[in-house]
């Protein structure tokens, strides 16, 4: 980048730093050069004298580095009577830049070491000597790296290690109150300060402060906690979960320990890390004991936490009615008004039963002692069980209520409810009962005309047949 400067034909007011072609080599002063430029060419004599090129730049540091923009400038001076046509230059072997002016400023502020080649040309075609200059620029200050650890116990060995770096001009000096890789003082508790100063070859300076604390001997046990997912309001988790024992202490953690007993049985010892993790993957109650040891040997108290897990839904066992096929839709029928006992039990192996009863799609309530048989048609009795963890099981009994069968049959020799016998005729008046002893009751029954043993056998057969018929009509449909 160049910046054309106003033309100036008078005395050059800026003293050159780089050599002026054909002048610096013999040590002539700049005013003499300018005076030479005032000599006019003789009439009719061709101009064969090349112009002079004067370049200037800010003085660098002793090491030759500029710590900012070097402010590079060039001024061409015609000596043979013609005029300056242009100033040309190339930086780091790049393309040639031609500026048609006798004064220019060139941007040389880029970081690093650069080579510039520059020359001038007059209108007669005379070209000056090519000047080559090296320009070194470093605008960035050096960096300082300090120790990361800033706390030490009384008497603890603490080595102070630091470093300085400058990738461009290089580090000239790197000094601290405490020599590099020497021990820091840790005799007395308190806060301490170490200053570090770095300079580079361009003259930049960086200051840094390292502060560290010496603490009294550690007699405090480490803090330790068991981290779990938030506990449900019921106190029971409904899924398996991970656990972590986490410890902390200013002296560091030497080891972390845990032991689980109950539904999950496991233990672990983690050395050199402040955390130990494990999984709880069994239903039931687990007691977890955990503790930690810090870097100077202090041991925390043994703490115990209880974790309860129930991932299994409760079970519903139906004792009555007896169901031969729990998946049937409506496998049995009952007569209207028939009494069918309803008996069931809710069971949960882990958290226990919270509620067990029938429901109409709302909260469960106490079950009736028998199935409802007042209304004809398909009927459903819904049963729901909920355990203390919140797991729910639902099932239902499906049956059909049919109309009751015809009149009750009348046994031979007996009467119906209106006083008629089995043939429909009025029954004969009963004979007056005569007192009998316990030993005569059997003969008295025989006097009715109906033998005792056949009557007993008939009654037993009716009971058995009635029970089998009821069993054959039962059904259960369960849904969870």
Residue 434 confidence (pLDDT) above 90: no
pLDDT at residue 456, rounded to an integer: 41
- Rounded Cα–Cα distance for residues 194 and 214 (Å): 14
pTM: 0.43
CATH code for the domain defined by 313-407+450-480 = 2.60.40.10
pLDDT at residue 150, rounded to an integer: 93
Q: Which residue has the tokens 């790049």?
A: 94
- Provide the 3-class DSSP secondary structure of residue 164: strand
- Rounded Cα–Cα distance for residues 386 and 12 (Å): 103
Same fold, 143-215 and 313-407+450-480: yes
Fold of the CATH domain 143-215: Immunoglobulin-like (2.60.40)
Class of domain 223-309: mainly beta
Q: Are 56 and 135 in contact (CB under 8 A)?
A: no
**What tens digit of pLDDT does each residue of 392-418 get?**
999 989 999 999 986 544 444 444 444
Q: Which residue has the tokens 């130990």?
A: 276
Contacts of 178 (CB under 8 A, 6+ apart): 160, 184, 194
pLDDT at residue 181, rounded to an integer: 94
Residue 382 confidence (pLDDT) above 60: yes
Domain 2-137 has CATH 2.60.40.10: yes
pLDDT band of 360, cuts 50, 70, 90: confident
Helix ranges (H only) for 172-213 are none
**What tens digit of pLDDT does each residue of 37-60 get?**
444 556 678 899 999 999 999 999
Q: Taking the domains of the chain in order of start, what are their residue ranges?
A: 2-137, 143-215, 223-309, 313-407+450-480
């Amino acid at each position: 980048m160049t910046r054309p400067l106003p033309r100036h034909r008078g005395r050059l007011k800026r003293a050159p730093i780089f050599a002026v072609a054909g002048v610096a080599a013999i040590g002539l002063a700049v005013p003499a050069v300018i005076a030479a430029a005032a000599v006019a060419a003789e009439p009719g004599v061709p101009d064969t004298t090349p112009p002079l090129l004067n370049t200037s730049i800010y003085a660098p540091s002793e090491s030759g580095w500029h710590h900012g923009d070097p402010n590079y400038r060039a001024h061409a001076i015609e000596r043979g009577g013609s005029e300056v046509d242009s100033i040309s230059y190339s930086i780091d072997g790049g393309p040639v830049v031609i500026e048609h002016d006798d004064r220019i400023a060139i941007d040389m502020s880029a970081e690093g070491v650069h080579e510039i080649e520059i020359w001038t040309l007059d209108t007669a075609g005379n070209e000056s000597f090519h000047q080559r200059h090296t320009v070194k620029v470093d605008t960035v200050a050096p960096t300082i790296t300090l120790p990361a650890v800033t706390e030490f116990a009384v008497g603890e060995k603490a080595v102070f290690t630091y470093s300085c770096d400058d990738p461009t001009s290089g580090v000239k000096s790197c000094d601290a109150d405490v020599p590099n890789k020497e021990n820091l003082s840790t005799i007395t508790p308190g806060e301490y300060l170490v200053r570090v100063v770095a300079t580079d070859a361009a003259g930049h300076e960086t200051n840094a402060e390292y502060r560290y604390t010496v603490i009294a001997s550690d007699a405090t046990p480490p803090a330790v906690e068991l981290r779990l997912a938030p506990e449900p309001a019921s106190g029971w988790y409904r899924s398996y979960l991970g656990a972590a024992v986490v410890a902390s202490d200013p002296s560091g953690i030497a080891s972390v320990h845990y032991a689980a007993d109950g539904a999950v049985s496991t233990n672990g010892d983690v050395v050199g890390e402040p955390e130990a993790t494990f999984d709880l993957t069994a239903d039931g109650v687990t007691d977890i004991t955990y503790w930690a040891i810090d870097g100077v040997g202090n041991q925390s108290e043994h703490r115990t936490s209880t974790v309860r897990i129930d991932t299994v839904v409760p079970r519903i066992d139906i004792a009555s009615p007896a169901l031969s096929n729990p998946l049937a839709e409506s496998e049995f029928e009952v007569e209207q008004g028939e009494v069918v006992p309803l008996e069931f039990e809710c069971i949960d192996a882990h958290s226990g039963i919270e509620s067990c009863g029938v429901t109409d799609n709302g909260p469960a309530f106490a079950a009736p002692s028998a199935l409802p048989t007042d209304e004809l048609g398909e009927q459903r009795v819904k049963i729901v069980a909920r355990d203390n963890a919140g797991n729910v099981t639902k099932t239902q009994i499906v049956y059909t209520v049919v109309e009751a069968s015809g009149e009750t049959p009348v046994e031979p020799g007996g009467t119906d409810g209106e006083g008629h016998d089995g043939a429909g005729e009025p029954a004969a008046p009963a004979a007056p009962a005569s007192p009998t002893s316990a030993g005569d009751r059997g003969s008295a029954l025989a006097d009715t005309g109906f033998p005792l043993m056949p009557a007993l056998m008939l009654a037993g057969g009716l009971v058995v047949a009635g029970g089998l018929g009821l069993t054959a009509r039962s059904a259960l449909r369960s849904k969870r």
